[in-house]
Chains A and B, each alone.
Chain A
Amino acid sequence: MKIKHSLLVNMITIVLLLVGSVDIAFSMENEKLPLMSDTQKDANTSSSYEYDEDDNRQKRVDVVLKGDAACTFCHEEEDSVSLLKIGKTKHGTLADDRVPTCTDCHGASEQHLVKKSGSDKRPLPDIVFPSRNPGIIDDFNIDEDHGQVKIAKMPAAAMNKPCLKCHKDNRLMFWASSAHANQDVACTSCHELHTDNDRVLHTGGQPNVCFSCHKNQRALFNRPSHHPVPEGQMVCSDCHNPHGSAGPKSLKKDTVNEVCYQCHTEKRGPFVHMHPPVQEDCRICHNPHGTAVADLLISRPPYLCQECHSSTYHRSQVAGLPGSPSSNPNVLGTIARGCVKCHTQIHGGNSNQNIRRDGRYFR
């Protein structure tokens, strides 16, 4: 964009350059930069300066991204948001001609670039992303730098539009119908762009990003029996696709069991002696986020087993602890592993022996 200039501004700029006290980009703000010499042109064609052949003068300079001069003219690394660190990321890989520039994501922002005369406040850029995880905030933004009206009337869908323009591979196929999209979660609610250490992409950082909204899951993962998410051995995205999916609860796979079979493949069967709830839905007996009972059981035997099994003899026993080693199955359904001490093949057995007891998940 070419901007009108004046001789006075050119003169001042050149003087300032001579004394070397002010960054040319910063000082010029909205104004056009001075003419360049041939020496300058030769020296700077590949770096921070560019020369406008048509106009025979300097243009605003790109610092990190192609075309970022419109922004880096004012914004510098010391800003509260380290804008220039975008250069460290994949969005800053200039060799990839798909990478965007500032205005591709933040909009052309002409009103922001050209402050209205007589106003001491500069309008925000066209698209401003939340500077913190907004949780339930859908169209708020606090703009600390400009110290002014802090509302950017920008729905999450509008904020996400620049991202979705490029990111449209199969991982985002169901984004539009996902729970996050329909709860107005912005991409930047979870992702940080101006850093090469986007914590949601790291095992140590991702759970805390998710827990900032999913408090129920945080509470469960702090229970004694849990998948090793707090320990950094697993992350939420091992099971869920936060960008939406064809599965329930934004699961990566089409069904709950299919997710569990990623690691617990031995439970897939089918088995000769099949325990029906195993094939139906693992969550009938387990809560994958955490419980107070070992092995993620939603409650301990015999309570859990008696949710379905009502029968005579030891199957209907009252929960209790024996006082010593016992041979009486009527008192052994609670202690240690409870019922599954004997019914050890509770996920299914593959014995084809001709014995009646095999049908009770013994063998």
Chain B
Amino acid sequence: MNRIKHTLTMASCFAALLGAVGGAEAQEMSETAAEFIKPESWFSIGVGLQDGNREQLGTFDNERGSGVRLLLDADLKVRDDKTGIWKTAQIKNLGQDNRSVKLGYNHQGQWGVTLDYVSMPRVAPFTVYSSNSGLGTATHIINTTAAAGSGPEVEVKTNRDRTKLSLYKNVKDHLRFNFNFSNQIKSGTRVWGQRGYGDGGSYPEFLLEPNNHTIRDMDTSVNYMSDKLQLTLGYFGSWFSNEDNLVNVTRETGTATSPYISLPLDNEAHKLHMSGGYNFTDTTRGAFKVSYNRALQNERMHLSDITGLSISDTAPTSLEGRIDTTLVQVDVTSRPNPKLNVLAKLRYLNDEDRTPPWEVVTGSTTIRSNPISKTTYTGKVEATYRLPDRTRVTAGIKHEFQDREVPIGNDSDGDGFDNERVVPFRTELSETTYKLQLRRALTQIANGSLSYKHSERDGSNYTDGDRLTESSTLQITPYYISDRTRDKLRLAVDVRPIDVFGLQFSSEYVNDKHSKGDRPHGRDKARTQLYSIDADYAYSSDLLFTAWYSRQIDEIWLGTYYAFNGTNPAEKYSEVEDTSDSIGFGVRNQYSDSIKLGANLLMTVTEVKYNDVVEPTGVTQLPEIESETTKFNAFVEYVGLGPGTLRADYVYERWDTNDWTWQFSDGSPYSYLTDGTTIVADDVQESNFIGVRYTTEF
């Protein structure tokens, strides 16, 4: 005891002597701490010069040709440490078409507001020359006398401008209100067309679809949160409106007998939802969601207001379209003992199309609107058990049953839904999937996972409809409802033999075998293979390398009917194979305290092969398509010129393809017969970009 007292006394004396020094030290640490806690902001400005053509690779930024770019980006964050109020601004690509700005004011833990603006261009990766007039407006005029390729260049581009407002407010610790509203304007044109009528014959003509859309979403919810119970009650509303509802297509010469093409009409959807979670114990939790959504499309069809048009008495002037969707889902997870995890899910989803089955077209052939409803029941159980040797085994089963419904039957005179159906239908579908997975930490330096899934899908008899049963040789099994056996194998291995070097390998194999029964046509099988390897290596803490390679092969085998003009019946077998190989390299080097270097290379080669067999007539094969994308970028950063960082970037991009999508068989550009509209896509596109920017951090 005496010793302690003595110690205290001595220490107090020394401490008293240290008063001034200690204060200075404390102040210094305080400033250091202030640096630690100050959020980082930066502002960057620069200029870039681009040369070349990047129609394909500039699809989403509209930087397709040569020119100068303003490079302006910023990430600004200010926090008032006393109040916890954040003021933020994130600016990206302000000098370009794909710009975005996000502003935030957030009293952390209390309330916050965010305003977010994004501009997303999309430009057609080809050039259109057309003499048609009024393209992209509500009135198109087909130039029936224009020679191929004689028209002026036409811009084909859409732009989405989305503004989003988000608010939240916390009430004490347990309640939170969220409100989000977004307004998205999509404007511009996209490639469209029509089947010509009257003097135009029955073949395609070129049009541009006017896109003057407004999409509004409102998402609001109130959330209750406690340690045991979480509840959310919300409303989601979505409104689509289209400035145009019809396009009137006329011709410079001749008569268009059916000159109007409809456009998407205004629609809206309203959803009420409630979800929740409850922790029954520390190891058992249940979660649920219940939602009801009503989608409506009931705008007046303006064709009804145009005099002189033939509108059936039984056709609607407003579709009165309505689809009600109800979801009930319950999930339970539990860990009855430390080694066992169990997951169970039950799901009920009902899509009820309550749109009246209108008789839209009458006369020699009746055509009706054809609502489809379906109810899907899903159940899933999965268990994971932890074995002693750092291995986990997972086994599971999932069953899904779908009850599908369409209007059936015909009128007494033979007209009706069955007679109009051109694709077989199944009223019931059922699929069971079994899963087995092993995951193991093999050693301290390697880990692996192997999973296998097997599923069987079948269903009720096909409802062909009268239109299809006229010939059994036409019967097909649409791939998305056909009987199918699927085997899926996935392997992943992660190896890090030394801290500075790692390898990651993954492979996936999916094999679908479709059974057609006694029906002659449809998909036979499909297969996907993926092989991927990633590597990283740190030569030193200042020099890092990454590399990766991926190959994915997708194949589809399809057997279909072939009867050219109703004669010369034959069987047609097609194999379509998509292969993509991608390789990437990256290097980062902190060359010195003031200089940092880096480079990336990405190359992707996509091959599409077509192999058609037609018996007994033979066939001319489609040429295979090979497209190659190369992207290389390098940068150097220099610290020391003033308070910021000077950075120079170089980007090289190349697109090389023999894609014949827009070409005739002799390689000449595709053109439309009537109006001479011609579309040209450059096979080889190359561009270089050099940019210099200065970034200040504060």
Contact = CB atoms under 8 A, between A and B. Distances in A.
Contacts, number: 541
A68 B364 CA distance: 83
Given A14-B14, A255-B349, A321 B108 contact: no
Contacts of A254: 289, 291, 293, 325, 327, 349
Interface string A86-112: 011110111111100000000000000
B36 A137 contact: no
A307 B558 contact: yes
Interface residues of B, number: 219
Contacts of B504: 135, 212
A144 B498 CA distance: 12
A272 interface: yes
Given A203-B100, A254-B291, 14 more contacts: A43-B22, A142-B499, A169-B225, A170-B223, A173-B289, A176-B333, A222-B629, A223-B578, A233-B98, A280-B374, A318-B614, A321-B660, A332-B204, A344-B193
20 contacts: A24-B25, A39-B19, A96-B108, A151-B444, A169-B176, A170-B178, A196-B40, A216-B508, A218-B532, A233-B118, A233-B120, A246-B327, A258-B293, A269-B264, A272-B316, A310-B521, A316-B560, A328-B203, A335-B661, A359-B360
Interface bin, chain A: 35 or more
Contact of B474 (A11, A85, A311, A336): A311
Contacts of B327: 246, 254
Counting chain A CB atoms within 10 Å of each CB, the highest count among B304, B309, B576, B662 belongs to B576
A197 B40 CA distance: 9
B602 interface: yes
A49 interface: yes
Contacts of B82: 95
A325 B323 CA distance: 42
B44 interface: no
Interface string A299-310: 110010011111
A332 B16 CA distance: 96
Interface string A116-154: 000000000000000000111111101010000011000
Interface string B356-391: 001011111101011110100000001010000010
B650 interface: no
B7 A169 contact: no
Given A18-B18, A40-B19, A63-B29, A265 B215 contact: yes
B304 A321 contact: no
Contacts of B362: 354
A319 B664 contact: no
Interface string A153-189: 0000100000000001110011011000110100000
B343 interface: yes
A150 B108 contact: no
A308 B478 contact: yes
Contact of B506 (A168, A215, A325, A351): A215
Contacts of A228: 59-60, 120, 122
B201 interface: yes
The 6 A-B residue pairs with the shortest CB-CB distance, nearest first, are: A95-B84, A87-B37, A39-B19, A359-B367, A47-B30, A270-B321
Interface string B551-588: 11000101011111110000010101010101000000
A268 interface: yes
A232 B202 CA distance: 42
Contact of A344 (B192, B322, B355, B578): B192
Given A90-B108, A271-B297, A311-B474, A355 B447 contact: no
Contacts of B21: 17-18, 20
Contact of B310 (A35, A63, A261, A353): A353
Contact of B301 (A266, A321, A350): A350
Contacts of A329: 202-203
B23 to A, nearest CB: 4
Contact of A44 (B26, B238, B384, B394): B26
B454 interface: no
B363 A356 contact: yes
A122 B529 CA distance: 47
B441 interface: yes
Counting chain A CB atoms within 10 Å of each CB, the highest count among B230, B261, B499, B614 belongs to B261
Contact of A363 (B11, B261, B351): B261
A71 interface: no
B331 A354 contact: no
Contacts of A251: none
Contacts of B61: 231
Contacts of B633: none
A268 B556 CA distance: 29
B523 A307 contact: yes
Contacts of A255: 325, 349
B217 interface: yes
Counting chain A CB atoms within 10 Å of each CB, the highest count among B195, B309, B612 belongs to B195
Question: For the complex, would chain A's binding face be called helix, strand, loop or mixed by DSSP majority?
Answer: loop
A352 B369 CA distance: 10
Interface stretch (B137-145, B591-599, B634-642, B667-675): B667-675
B27 A321 contact: no
A276 B580 contact: no
Contact of B552 (A34, A219, A266, A349): A219
A35 to B, nearest CB: 4
Interface string A323-363: 11111111010111100111111001111111111110011
B310 A299 contact: no
Contacts of A6: 7
A293 B625 CA distance: 10
B608 interface: yes
A326 B213 CA distance: 34
Nearest to A254: B327
Contact of B367 (A24, A93, A356): A356
B664 A322 contact: yes
B23 A358 contact: no
Interface stretch (B64-72, B269-277, B684-692): B269-277
Contacts of B384: 182
Nearest to B6: A7
B79 interface: yes
A254 B293 CA distance: 10
Interface in B381-419: 382, 384, 390, 392, 394
Nearest to A88: B39
Contacts of B77: 196
Contact of B267 (A269, A277, A313): A269
A152 to B, nearest CB: 11
Interface in B90-125: 92, 98, 100, 108-109, 118, 120, 122
B129 interface: no
A14 to B, nearest CB: 4
Contacts of A170: 178, 221, 223, 230, 232, 234, 275
Given A137-B441, A222-B604, A270-B371, A325 B423 contact: no
B262 to A, nearest CB: 4
Contacts of B679: 336
B460 interface: no
B8 interface: yes
A341 B32 CA distance: 67
Nearest to B670: A336
Contacts of B238: 261-262, 265
Nearest to B222: A170
A182 B382 contact: yes
A191 interface: no
A37 B552 contact: no
